[in-house]
Amino acid sequence: MDISVVIPLFNEEDSLPELYNRIEQVMNDNGFSFEVIFINDGSTDHSWKVIEGLKARSEHIKGIKFRRNYGKSPALYCGFKTAQGDVVITMDADLQDSPEEIPELYRMIKEEGYDLVSGWKKKRYDPLSKTLPTKIFNATARRVSGIGNLHDFNCGLKSYRKEVVKNIEVYGEMHRYIPYLAKSAGFQKIGEKVVRHQARKYGKTKFGVNRFVNGYLDLTTLWFLSRFGIKPMHFFGLLGSLMFVLGIIAVAIVGANKLYAMYNGMPYRLVTDSPYFYLALTSMIIGTQLFLTGFLGELVSRNAPERNDYQIEETI
């Protein structure tokens, strides 16, 4: 099979028939063998009935229905697990992503050898309250991930080699960082294509300010796991040791000042009367706690079943 189109959705009953008709037209015009996988993420409208109706008239449709709303990442995870196409295309169900982009996204994977191609909605039909935070978010993601050529990490329109989606785990709300997940899994050829952004035709946006807060927290988590996930002592142990040593040095300085004053007959005060003593003591305690955190993290990591789960591309 040439292409699997994975479409997560939540309350998009009005847009689904038009979306599938456009996808089917594009596939037929280009002679692609294909499947379209709709993942109904706990919709409260008639989206599932619409999918059932589409399935009744087309053998190319597969549907997955969640009992409740889990989020986009779980929907993509299940879609990736089901997909059988050589190239996997993801897109949103709100008609803001254009199915007419599919042939070029497919070509870039098959002919130019990209592992992943991410869409870039260079011209957006969104309010400034959404576009400005998006620009800031993407700038931060580029710097942290090291994927400097991507301008729109959160674009739902992407294409992947089948091997990519079968070797990454999308969980929580990590769908924003699939390029980063792919890079961490060893897929280095990541490209970008300018795609057309269309104004929402039906329904209402699922956008919320909280997604940016969650996005930065997820980015921090992903950065930490990719750097220190299997070696937490390198982070906590180093930081803890540094704080402990600084505390020891501070205590030594406070004690040396007292001894110097006593030796030279100068007035002095008790070590415990100095605020620096308590700051030093606090630094030593926190340093010890951080070191023990790293140690416990190492014990957990060494006993994790996936500790030797490496990405092997080929053996001979």
Q: Which long-range contacts (CB under 8 A, 24 or more apart) does 251-257 make?
A: 251/277, 251/280, 251/281, 251/284, 254/280
For position 148, what pLDDT does the model report?
Answer: 83
Strand 87-90 relative to strand 158-161, pairing = antiparallel
- The structural domain count of the chain equals 2
Whether 250 and 216 map to the same domain: the answer is no
Whether residue 57 is contained in a domain is answered as yes
3-state secondary structure 171-214: CCCHHHHHHHHHHHCCCCCEEEEECCECCCCCCCCCCCCHHHHH
Which residue segment(s) compose the domain that 288 sits in?
233-302
Residue 240 and residue 223 share a domain:
no
**Cβ-contact 10, 69 below 8 angstroms:** yes
Say if residue 238 is in the same domain as residue 213: no
Q: Which of 213, 228, 243 is the last residue of a domain?
A: 228
Residue 44 and residue 115 in one domain: yes
Structural domain contains residue 313: no
Q: Specify whether the CB–CB gap between 284 and 247 falls below 8 A.
A: yes
In a domain, residue 191? The reply is yes
Q: What is the pLDDT of residue 211?
A: 62
pLDDT at site 52:
95
**Residue 19 belongs to a domain with what CATH number?**
3.90.550.10
Indicate if 164 and 257 belong to the same structural domain. Answer: no
Residue 316 in any domain: the answer is no
Q: Are residues 17 and 124 in the same domain?
A: yes
- What is the DSSP code string of 113-163? --SEEEEE--S--S-HHHHHHHHHHHHHHHHHH--TT-S-TT-S-EEEEHH
Regarding whether 151 and 277 lie in a shared domain, the answer is: no
Q: Which residue has the tokens 């959160």?
A: 154
Q: Which amino acid is at 259?
A: L
b/e 301-311 (16+ beta carbons within 10 angstroms → b): beeeeeeeeee
Instruction: Please list, in sequence order, all residues whose beta carbon lies within 8 angstroms of the beta carbon of residue 27, skipping any fewer than 6 positions away.
Output: 3, 34, 60, 102
Same domain, 223 and 238: no
Residues 78 and 158 in one domain: yes
Looking at the structure, tell me whether residues 259 and 118 fall in a common domain.
no
pLDDT at 205: 62
Domain end marker among 228, 261, 293: 228
Residue 309 inside a domain? The answer is: no
Amino acid at 195: V
Do 139 and 246 fall into the same domain?
A: no
Residue 311 lies in a domain: no
Residue 287, pLDDT score: 92
Q: Is residue 35 part of a domain?
A: yes
Q: Which of 76, 70, 95 is nearest to 4 (CA)?
A: 76
- Domain assignment present for residue 61? The answer is yes
- Give, for all 316 residues of the chain, the pLDDT tens digit: 999 999 999 999 999 999 999 999 999 999 999 999 999 999 999 999 999 999 999 999 999 999 999 999 999 999 999 999 999 999 999 998 999 999 999 999 999 999 999 999 887 666 666 667 777 778 888 888 888 888 888 888 999 999 999 999 888 778 888 998 899 888 999 999 999 877 666 666 655 556 656 666 777 777 777 777 678 888 888 899 999 999 999 888 888 888 888 888 778 778 777 888 888 999 999 999 999 998 888 777 767 665 555 555 555 5
Could you say which of 198, 228, 258 is where a domain stops?
Answer: 228
Residues 75 and 199 in one domain: yes
